[in-house]
Amino acid sequence: MSYHNPVLLFESVDGLEIVPNGVYIDVTFGGGGHSKEILKRLGTDGKLFAFDQDEDALKNTIDDERFVLIHENFRYLKRFLKFYGIKKVNGILADLGVSSHQFDEASRGFSTRFDADLDMRMSTRVETSAYQIINKYPEEKLSNVLFLYGELRNARALARQIVECRNEQPIKTSFELKEVLKRFLPKSKEHKILAQIFQAVRIEVNQELEALKEFLIQTEELLDVGGKLSVISYHSLEDRLVKRFIRSGMFEGEPEKDFYGNIAVPFKKGKLITPTQEEVKKNSRARSAKLRIATKL
3-state secondary structure of 224: strand
- Do 281 and 153 fall within a single domain? no
**Domain-terminating residue out of 162, 179, 206:** 206
For the cut 60, the answer to whether the pLDDT of residue 273 exceeds it is: yes
CATH number, domain of 157, equals: 1.10.150.170
Burial class of 12 by CB neighbour count within 10 A (0 to 12, 13 to 18, 19+): buried
pLDDT digits (tens, 9 = 90+) for 162-189: 999 999 999 999 999 999 999 999 999 9
Number of domains in the chain: 2
> 43: domain range?
9-100+208-296
Residue 215 lies in a domain: yes
Please tell me the predicted confidence (pLDDT) of residue 99. 55
- Do 69 and 120 fall within a single domain? no
Beta carbons within 8 Å of 127's beta carbon, 6+ residues apart: none
- Do 89 and 25 fall within a single domain? yes
Residue 3 lies in a domain: no
- Do 147 and 230 fall within a single domain? no
pTM of the model: 0.92
Confidence at 256, pLDDT banded by 50, 70, 90: confident
Confidence at 226, pLDDT banded by 50, 70, 90: very high
Please tell me the predicted confidence (pLDDT) of residue 3. 56
Residue 35 lies in a domain: yes
**Domain-terminating residue out of 161, 189, 206:** 206
Pairwise CA distance, residues 155 & 147, whole Å: 5
Residue 66 lies in a domain: yes
Pairwise CA distance, residues 241 & 233, whole Å: 10
- Do 143 and 218 fall within a single domain? no
- Do 45 and 191 fall within a single domain? no
**Domain-terminating residue out of 206, 236, 259:** 206
Residue 2 lies in a domain: no
- Do 244 and 187 fall within a single domain? no
Pairwise CA distance, residues 267 & 104, whole Å: 37
Confidence at 141, pLDDT banded by 50, 70, 90: very high
- Do 85 and 224 fall within a single domain? yes
> In this structure, what DSSP letter does residue 184 have?
G
Confidence at 105, pLDDT banded by 50, 70, 90: low
Residue 226 lies in a domain: yes
Pairwise CA distance, residues 98 & 124, whole Å: 16
Residue 219 lies in a domain: yes
Confidence at 114, pLDDT banded by 50, 70, 90: confident
Backbone angles phi and psi of 243, in degrees to 5: -60, -45
CATH number, domain of 92, equals: 3.40.50.150
Average pLDDT, the chain: 93
- Residue 170 one-letter amino acid: P
- Do 86 and 139 fall within a single domain? no
Please tell me the predicted confidence (pLDDT) of residue 1. 45
For the cut 70, the answer to whether the pLDDT of residue 103 exceeds it is: no
CA angle 280, 285, 289 (to 5 degrees): 80
- Do 39 and 56 fall within a single domain? yes
Residue 105 lies in a domain: no
The average pLDDT across 54-70 equals 95
Pairwise CA distance, residues 37 & 132, whole Å: 39
Please tell me the predicted confidence (pLDDT) of residue 21. 98
Pairwise CA distance, residues 145 & 224, whole Å: 37
- Do 89 and 64 fall within a single domain? yes
- Do 51 and 83 fall within a single domain? yes
Nearest to 70 by CA among 107, 41, 112, 28: 28
pLDDT digits (tens, 9 = 90+) for 187-224: 999 999 999 999 999 999 999 999 999 999 999 999 99
